[in-house]
Amino acid sequence: MQKLLILVAVIFFPFLMLAQQNVKYEREKKISAEDFPDAAMQLILPLLENAKAVKFYQETNQDGINYEVKLKYDKTHYSIEFDSLQRLKDVEELLDWKKATDIPRAAIKRNMDDTFRKQKVTRIQKQYNLKSSVKQLQSLPPSEDIILSINYELEVEGEMHRKNVLQFYELLFDENGELIQQRVIQKNITDNLIF
């Protein structure tokens, strides 16, 4: 019996892991500037002079605890994320899906059409992955010489082929518009607003 259980666990464990990875889990807590890690603060110090609506967050997700700054710089919304070791993870720039021109729109659209029967983009962010050698961010968007790669993170409401279920997904595309990651976003109930 014990051997059978181990066998079942071994067979199903990878599938369980896969299922867990496909769901986005993220918990965000607003913190004060004083509670924001010093090393991370030093990295963004030059930006804060010209930034507006600066807010600091502690974020818990599958990878552990991260830190995030959200701000408005030169009329554009950015979020700058740091890992638990206060290393710069990425910078995300909020774009307008309908207006954005410098995105691989055709490739992204083709990939989404392959996955979904119907879809609507509700949010898009340009994700700048920066070189680990970056000591301080001087301006936003980051300058070309410190960018390692660019991704596009989309939040999409969609209905997959052969599935009559509408759900929200987070899709990550590389700079050529090829799909890297797809996760389901668990939304809170909105019955309190509807009924």
Partner 1 sequence: MKRYLLPVFVFFLFFTSFGQVRPVFIEPALSVGKTLKGRWSANAKLVFRQQMGLFDSDGFTAFSQSDILEIQLFANYKLLGSKQITLGYLYGIDEPFLDEPAWEHRLMQQFTFGSGNGFKWVNRFRLEQRFGEENFRNRFRYRFTFDRPISGSQLDSGEWYFVAGDEWLYTFTGKAGEDHLENRLNAGLGYLFENGQKLQFEIQYRIIRMVSSCASSAWHFLVTHNLKW
Residues that bind partner 1 (CB under 8 A): 26-30, 55, 57, 70, 118-120, 122-123, 155, 157, 159, 164-166, 188-195
Tokens of 160: 């997959």
Please report, to the nearest 10 degrees, the dihedral formed by the alpha carbons of residues 112, 172, 159, 16 taken in order: 130
Residue of 155, 163, 160, 144 whose CA lies nearest to 186: 155
**In contact, 57 and 30? CB cutoff 8 Å:** yes
CB 50, min distance to partner 1, A:
21
Nearer CB in complex with partner 1: 132/190: 190
Nearer CB in complex with partner 1: 31/179: 31
CB 80, min distance to partner 1, A:
14
Nearer CB in complex with partner 1: 38/191: 191
CB 42, min distance to partner 1, A:
24
Backbone angles phi, psi at 127, to 5 degrees: -105, 115
CB 28, min distance to partner 1, A:
4
| Distance separating alpha carbons of residues 63 and 4, to the nearest angstrom | 32
Nearer CB in complex with partner 1: 57/97: 57
